[in-house]
Amino acid sequence: MTSNKNKNFYKIILTLAVPIIIQNLITSSLNLVDNVMIGTLGENEIAAVGLANQYFFIFMMSMTGITGGTSIFLSQYYGKKDTKSIKNFMGITFVIGTIVASAFAILAFFTPVFVMKIFTKDTTVINLGVSYLRIVSLSYIFTIVTLTFSTALRSTGQASLPMAGSIIGILSNAGFNYIFIFGKLGLPAMGVRGAALGTTFSRLLEMLFVVTIIYAKNYSVKCKLNELLFTKHQFKNFMKTATPVIFNDIMWSLGISAYSIAYAKVGTNALASMQIAITINNLFNIFGTGLAAATAIIIGNKIGESKKDLAIEYTHKISKISVALGIIIGLTLILTSPLIVKLFNITCETKAITLTVLKIMAIITPLRFFNITMIIGAFRGGGDVNYAIFTELICVWGIAVPLSFIGATILHLNIIWVYMLVCFEEIVKLFFEIPRFKSNRWIKEVI
């Protein structure tokens, strides 16, 4: 790249990636705040909320699949300056997202015991999880509204407002949690139920903030109801491209949840260790996912502008950045994890296990960042969603899930070895990604 090209490239990356990273950092911090406050209550409470949030995680990945499919179209339409089509596809997202969110909310509200029993047989953990799940299910509709507008804003280069909304979300969540969990301002201490209330109110506040600012300040994604109407052809086009993305994200999230079931079979303290380690690691992983999300938008924009060569050039550059960033973040995780783990009220044995797992997570961070950049950034952003699905599902369901259960239930390994077996999928992904990436067959125009 020339000097001017380099400057433009880094400007685009920083403009998109930094707000996304900050937003994701805030979201992950919200989960950490939840876990730290709940961690003062005990290991059963940590396990219960962690497993209840696995259900929310499956819901969120369903939503991410829907909005991820939307982003492919919005990014390319933004490259073509087609605002009308952007709003039409937002309408599709609202309709499908609301249906899916309602289904998840109804199941969680009316049959929470059934949901919790999928993950564990421990009656204490189930009872605690049920009280959390029933309350927090009310926030699912708020989430799809926020996600739809945030996706539209990011895809059109306006990533700062979603970031601001997330700041409102985490600050209010920390405040509400403190009040409801520990019983402040004259309210009774509600423990796990208090955490659920705090999370629900904070998601409502975040949604109201984002929507109010969009309409008050006339953002380009502001739309009337009739502008959200879409044609049969647009819906078919969306489903053709987005269905594989949605299917992939749901199946991937089910795979991640299957890991939790395997971890639970090792023991409650092992599960608590993994929940804490995953929560902390997610705080560091957002740098990789933020870079990948920005990459997908950049690639989509360039394809929409008919600049495929530049899209390829940018992706090669970003893939190298992802590895370098992974090394820095991995080292930071190793150095800071002992301080973060001290915040949790857990036994010395659980702390030791958690720290060992975090070291393993840190070591594979560069590899994980590269893989995320390839699958989410390059392949999805480039429109090659079917190959992204093939790679993801083969590695998760063909390798990681079977190995986790073999390790936990047949070989009866400790949680550290079970987790190391799960990590093997990250190595296998390389054999699928690198040949495809070099072939440039991942560049596809979807509009």
Q: Name the residue among 399, 419, 416, 343 with its Cα closest to residue 35.
A: 343
Domain extent at residue 270 = 3-439
Q: Is residue 327 part of a domain?
A: yes
* 76 touches 443 (CB < 8 A): no
- Looking at the domain assignment, is residue 447 inside a domain? no
**Residue 341 within a domain:** yes
Question: What is the distance between the alpha carbons of residues 441 and 304, in angstroms, rounded to a whole number?
Answer: 16
Of residues 68, 212, 76, the one with CA closest to residue 148? 68
Residue 445 lies in a domain: no
Task: Give the CA angle between residues 70, 250, 50 to the nearest 5°.
Answer: 115
In a domain, 362, yes or no: yes
CA-wise closest residue to 51 among 143, 142, 99, 121: 121
Asked whether residue 364 is assigned to any structural domain, the reply reads: yes
Q: Check if the beta carbon of residue 68 is closer than 8 Å to that of residue 248.
A: no
3-state SS class at 305: coil
With respect to residue 347, please indicate whether it lies within any of the assigned structural domains. Answer: yes
Q: How far, in Å, CA of 299 to CA of 127, rounded?
A: 46
Total tally of structural domains belonging to the chain: 1
C-beta of residue 97 within 8 angstroms of C-beta of residue 147: yes
* 446 lies in some domain: no
Model pTM? 0.73
- For residue 49, which of 111, 114, 134, 106 has the smallest C-alpha distance? 134
Q: Where are the alpha helices (DSSP H) in 267-364?
A: 268-304, 308-341, 348-363
Note down pLDDT in tens along the chain; length 447 residues: 556 667 777 877 887 788 778 777 776 666 667 777 887 887 788 888 888 888 887 888 888 888 888 888 888 888 888 889 999 999 999 999 999 999 999 999 999 999 999 888 888 989 999 999 999 999 999 999 999 999 999 888 787 898 899 888 888 988 998 899 999 998 998 988 998 999 899 999 999 999 999 999 989 889 899 999 999 999 998 898 888 878 888 888 888 888 988 998 998 788 888 988 988 898 898 899 889 988 888 888 888 787 888 888 888 899 999 999 999 999 999 999 999 888 887 888 889 999 999 999 999 999 999 999 999 888 888 888 889 889 989 999 999 999 999 999 999 999 999 999 999 999 999 999 999 999 888 887 666
